[in-house]
Homo-oligomer: A and B are copies of this chain.
Amino acid sequence: MKQFKILYAEDDAALAFLTKDNLELKQYKVSHFTNGQDCLKAFNKEYFDICILDIMLPKMDGFELATAIRKKNADIPIIFLSAKTLNEDKIKGLRLGADDYLVKPFSIEELILKINIFLKRSNKITASNNNFYEIGSIKFDSENYLIIKQEEKISLTQREADLLKLFIENKNIVLKREKILTALWGSNDYFLGRSLDVFVSRLRKIFAAEASISFDNVHGIGFKCSM
């Protein structure tokens, strides 16, 4: 089972400990930070599936943090946590592009339900646990990172498999570079773009002999997997 990665910003140590503990019990992988700056740094370096942000934070508050995150990734779910029950703040948070705003004290169960709602809605949890695909005479087992040709088995790396899965699940439509990058890498910058090109190149090589699938560039936009 896939472990989802949560970026968690909270400066109240006791609350953070409890929350993190509860989430980890539910098999989430939680990276916790006590100030906005460190949190943003982590976001820029690592991949996360969802962000849970306190608003009152040292160095950079939750609003600024959310704004910075949204700029890099338009799609990642963001949930605010706050002691402030002010309607103004709630609205402000949602306007910035957050998905929800839980008022402290919140029940851990509510938080977990919300996390799952947004993981589902942002397609991080695949409703159909489909992980087995057929491309012409080639089979692809995404769970096991495995390509099965007639006799031969090729192991893919995680990135290769993730990219291939993304392409197959969005076949025959143009995927923008930005969309691919935020889906797989969590953000969108120049060098990640070059990296994507390398992986596309590898997939092409693997499927070179297979006429029924191709990974076509759409200049200036992104790629389209035709099959």
Contacts and interface: CB of A to CB of B under 8 A. Distances in A.
Interface in A183-227: 218-221, 224
Number of this chain's copies in the complex: 2
A221 B172 CA distance: 30
Contacts of A107: 87, 91
A32 to B, nearest CB: 24
A221 B145 contact: yes
A50 to B, nearest CB: 12
A94 B121 contact: no
Q: Give the size range of A's interface with the partner.
A: 20 to 34
B74 A145 contact: no
Interface stretch (A6-14, A23-31, A34-42, A109-117): A109-117
What 5 pairs across the A-B complex have the smallest Cβ distances?
Answer: A121-B121, A94-B113, A144-B174, A99-B117, A87-B107
Interface of A: 74, 87, 90-91, 94-95, 99-100, 107, 109-110, 113-114, 117-118, 121-122, 127, 143-145, 155, 157-158, 172-174, 218-221, 224
23 contacts: A74-B127, A87-B110, A91-B107, A91-B109, A94-B110, A94-B113, A94-B114, A94-B117, A95-B113, A99-B117, A99-B121, A100-B100, A143-B173, A143-B174, A144-B172, A144-B173, A144-B224, A145-B218, A145-B221, A155-B218, A157-B219, A157-B220, A158-B221
